[in-house]
C-alpha cells in the first residue's frame, strides 16, 4: 500500500529563462520557461501576477490563462 503525499508550493519565481517553485517542505524545483509558451511570451509584470490554487497544489496566471500543477512539475523535473 502506498500513501500519497501532497506537494504544496509556497512561492513562485519566473525569470527570463526558468519557472522556479519553492515547496512548503523547503525544496525548490525549476523548469525551463520554454516548457510554458504562454509564460515565455508574457511580460514580467504578467509573470509576477500569479496565485496559488488548491491549497498550493497549483499556480495560476490569470493574465495569460496558464495553470501549472506542482506535482506535475515535480514529475517532469
Q: Is residue 3 part of a domain?
A: no
CATH classification at residue 38 = 3.30.2020.40
Q: Is residue 2 part of a domain?
A: no
pTM above 0.75, yes or no: yes
Residue 30 pairs in a beta bridge with 20
Q: How far apart are CA 24 and CA 2, in angstroms?
A: 22
C-alpha pair distances (Å), 20 with each of 16, 46, 56, 64, 68: 11, 15, 14, 17, 11
Note down the domain range covering 32.
Answer: 9-76
Q: Is residue 68 part of a domain?
A: yes
Written as nine digits, the cell of 68 is 501549472
Q: Is residue 33 part of a domain?
A: yes
pLDDT tens sequence for the chain (77 residues)? 334 467 899 999 999 999 999 999 999 999 999 999 999 999 999 999 999 999 999 999 999 999 999 999 988 87
Number of domains in the chain: 1
Amino acid at each position: 500500500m502506498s500513501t500519497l503525499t501532497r506537494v504544496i508550493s509556497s512561492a513562485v519565481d519566473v525569470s527570463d529563462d526558468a519557472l522556479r517553485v519553492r515547496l512548503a517542505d523547503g525544496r525548490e524545483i525549476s523548469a525551463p520557461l520554454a516548457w510554458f509558451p504562454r509564460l515565455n511570451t508574457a511580460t514580467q509584470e504578467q509573470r509576477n501576477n500569479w496565485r496559488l490554487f488548491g491549497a498550493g497544489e497549483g499556480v495560476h496566471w490569470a493574465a495569460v490563462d496558464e495553470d501549472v500543477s506542482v506535482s506535475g512539475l515535480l514529475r517532469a523535473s
